[in-house]
Amino acid sequence: MTMTPTVSVLGLGIMGSAMAHRVAGAGLPTTVWNRSAARAEVFRGVAAVANTPDSAVAGADIVLTMLFDAEAVRTVMAAALPAMRSGAIWLQCSTIGVEAAREFAGLAAAAGVRFVDAPVLGTKAPAQAGTLTSLLAASDAALAEVQPVLAATSAKVVRAGAEAPAASGLKLAMNAWIATITAGIAQSLAIATRLGLDPELVLEALQGGAADSPYAHLKGGAMLAGSFDPQFELVGLLKDVRLARAAVPELPQELLAALDALYGAAADGGAAHEDIAAVWRAFQG
């Protein structure tokens, strides 16, 4: 691989688009592809735009996938993986769960491609700013080779292990926490409201204490403002809660089941493609 790797980005949703802009903006030769061509067209003049996944990855040193779920990754890579050059790196950043990460690592090995399990923590704004946290499971050599991409997209790297699905497992643990704290602040604001209190007092009481959390203020403030422009779509976090439930069936399921029900109710009520803060809607019935 050259010192300046060529990069292909497959998937240009909220996160993939922001990451592709960061990669191209860092001076890395970049090709993009998206199932909906309109999302790719805006990259003309910034990156090469491919019409198909296989043409996007041909000759690339690093192929970054950022797609909604395992099935989307499976479908796209069925076309792309055979077209990747031997020894190239598949930098898999989608949140797909542990079983799919293990499956895809096996497919990559069979195709002569190196697999890097690399989901990220962060939403739209950190992706645009290049301040994501990358969770990595990779060999030392592969980790060194993807550094230019990590430098463009991430402010922090947490190495979970040497091989998949370690990073995907860590991502499920982290997103379970995000789901918990977001639903938790929604519940506290709703309790205060129902008891005739100004819900802003909840955030004020939290401020500076041991239980304080910047994330609680970020999402709680959005809830009170009714501002649900998607930074992280609620339907995506619902998917991740369900992946966590499936990954650890031996754990007590009461909390994960409650989160599943709350985010599911909000999604069914029309908030699927709003920000995760819209779980607030589940407490308004």
**Once rounded to an integer, what is the mean pLDDT over residues 192-204?**
98
Nearest-angstrom CA–CA distance, 194 and 210: 25
| Distance, CA of 221 to chain centre | 22
Nearest-angstrom CA–CA distance, 23 and 93: 14
1 band by pLDDT with thresholds 50, 70 and 90: low
> Domain spanning 7-163: which superfamily?
NAD(P)-binding Rossmann-like Domain (3.40.50.720)
Write the DSSP assignment of 91-157 as a string of letters.
EE-S---HHHHHHHHHHHHHTT-EEEE--EE--HHHHHHT-EEEEEE--HHHHHHTHHHHHHHEEEE
243 band by pLDDT with thresholds 50, 70 and 90: very high
3 band by pLDDT with thresholds 50, 70 and 90: confident
**Once rounded to an integer, what is the mean pLDDT over residues 233-245?**
98
Nearest-angstrom CA–CA distance, 237 and 74: 20
- What residue segments make up the domains of the chain, in order of their start? 7-163, 170-283
Handedness of CA 80, 81, 82, 86 (dihedral sign): positive
Higher pLDDT, 149 or 2: 149
Nearest-angstrom CA–CA distance, 78 and 141: 26
**CATH 1.10.1040.10 is held by the domain 170-283:** yes
Is a pLDDT exceeding 80 seen at residue 238?
Answer: yes
**Once rounded to an integer, what is the mean pLDDT over residues 176-192?**
98
**Once rounded to an integer, what is the mean pLDDT over residues 201-218?**
97
Q: Which two tokens stand for residue 112?
A: 């002569």
Percentage above 90 pLDDT, the chain: 99
**Once rounded to an integer, what is the mean pLDDT over residues 242-248?**
98
- Amino acid present at 200: E
Percentage above 70 pLDDT, the chain: 99
pLDDT at 2: 58
Is a pLDDT exceeding 70 seen at residue 45?
Answer: yes
Query: Mind listing the pLDDT tens digit for each residue in 110-165?
Result: 999 999 999 999 999 999 999 999 999 999 999 999 999 999 999 999 999 999 99
Handedness of CA 132, 164, 146, 59 (dihedral sign): negative
pLDDT at 285: 76
250-278 b/e (C-beta count within 10 Å ≥ 16 → b):
eeeeeebeebbebbbbbbeeebbebbbbb
Contact of 189 with 224, CB cutoff 8 Å: yes
Query: Mind listing the pLDDT tens digit for each residue in 72-101?
Result: 999 999 999 999 999 999 999 999 999 999
**Mean pLDDT score of the chain:** 97
pLDDT at 129: 98
Query: Mind listing the pLDDT tens digit for each residue in 56-72?
Result: 999 999 999 999 999 99
Other C-beta atoms lying within 10 Å of the C-beta of residue 201: 11
